[in-house]
Amino acid sequence: MISKLGGFLDSTVDRVNEFIIYFGLYFYYYNRVSFVQFWIVVAIFGSMMVSYTRARAEGLGISPRVGLFERLTRIVLLVIGSVLGPRFMPYIIVILAIGTLQTTLQRIIFVKRSSSDD
């Protein structure tokens, strides 16, 4: 059985967990690989915006299930980066940063096209 409160808590805890992972990566790469810090911040922003754009669109009655970098994809990439190790993780972070921004833009465009406010 799914409740509104349960759905709310699930998505909230998901955001907290994802932020903690990025936060840990930021501190791991702090003073190690300087360019990675920028991309981690972009990935955090993009990740939060993917979730935000979906929530806002659903609040308008539009289901923006577009874009490749939904939560599952982001978590799978982070797991792959963790398995491959710190040498490969910076590349995964850059992919996440660019992919989340692309998904955010796709959702914005989708909502604009689906909106009846034209």
Q: Which positions are catalytic?
A: 14
Among 92, 94, 113, 104, CA closest to 54:
104
DSSP string, 61-118: T------S--HHHHHHHHHHHHHH-TTTHHHHHHHHHHHHHHHHHHHHHHHHHH-S--
CB 60 within 8 A of CB 117: no
CA angle 74, 57, 11 (to 5 degrees): 45
E strands, 6-107, in order:
none
